[in-house]
Amino acid sequence: MNFFDVTNIAIHVPGYPISYIELIGTVFGLISVYYASKANVLTWPTGIINEIALFGLFFQIQLYADMLLQVFFLVVTVFGWYNWQNKTEEVPISRMPGRMVTVYGITLLAGTILTGIIIQQFHHWMPAYFPLPTTYPYADSFVMVASMLATFLLAKKRVETWILWIVVDVVSVVLYLIKGVYFLSLEYVVFLGLATYGLLQWRKKMMYA
């Protein structure tokens, strides 16, 4: 049995078997978001492990936009890690200008629609790699696009990153419950709490900066 197969079970909790790949992705995701809420550079290396595990998980449960999101996360994680480590001064926490909020909102809407249309064709265009059609394409695409935008904001230390993450977490909890990855869904409940904590902490740091 492949170690990364969703049927390779690591532990059982009452009524639910948790695969190794879901367990690894979930645990390192929690660690990464905790460090992000503290504006700690360790959010990036722990994030890399989370991204690799979730890439394999989402492929196997036909959430292809979420799968592709992990590739993006990997690239941006390297950028964010470099950005935080190689500034001569610490990157300050700041707010987005009003015009940027509008641009991000339009990008989120357009990106969700376009991505949803595209990923519905994967099993037609590449049946050898994607034998099964995607599921919940627009919810999946929203999570992908909103997470991409939130990650850019995180790398730039914009406080609005946490508002986007809160919305992403709510959608993800419902989506992963429907898909039957309950441990991952529970993780996003924790993420919701951490994102709220991160928003409060970053606002507090801005007040005393």
Q: Same domain, yes or no, for 125 and 177?
A: yes
pLDDT digits (tens, 9 = 90+) for 87-106: 645 678 889 998 999 999 99
Q: Same domain, yes or no, for 80 and 180?
A: no
**pLDDT > 70 in the chain, percent:** 97
Three-state DSSP at 17 gives strand
Question: Do residues 93 and 39 touch, judged by C-beta distance below 8 A?
Answer: yes
Report the candidate in 142, 147, 129, 114 with the shortest Cα–Cα distance to residue 59: 129
Say what angle helices 64-85 and 98-119 make with each other, to 10 degrees: 140
204, part of any domain: yes
Q: Same domain, yes or no, for 23 and 126?
A: no
pTM of the predicted structure, to 2 decimals: 0.82
Q: Is the dihedral of CA 112, 169, 155, 62 positive or negative?
A: negative
124, part of any domain: yes
19, part of any domain: yes
Phi, psi of 3 (to 5 degrees): -55, -35
pLDDT digits (tens, 9 = 90+) for 24-56: 999 998 898 788 777 788 888 999 999 999 999
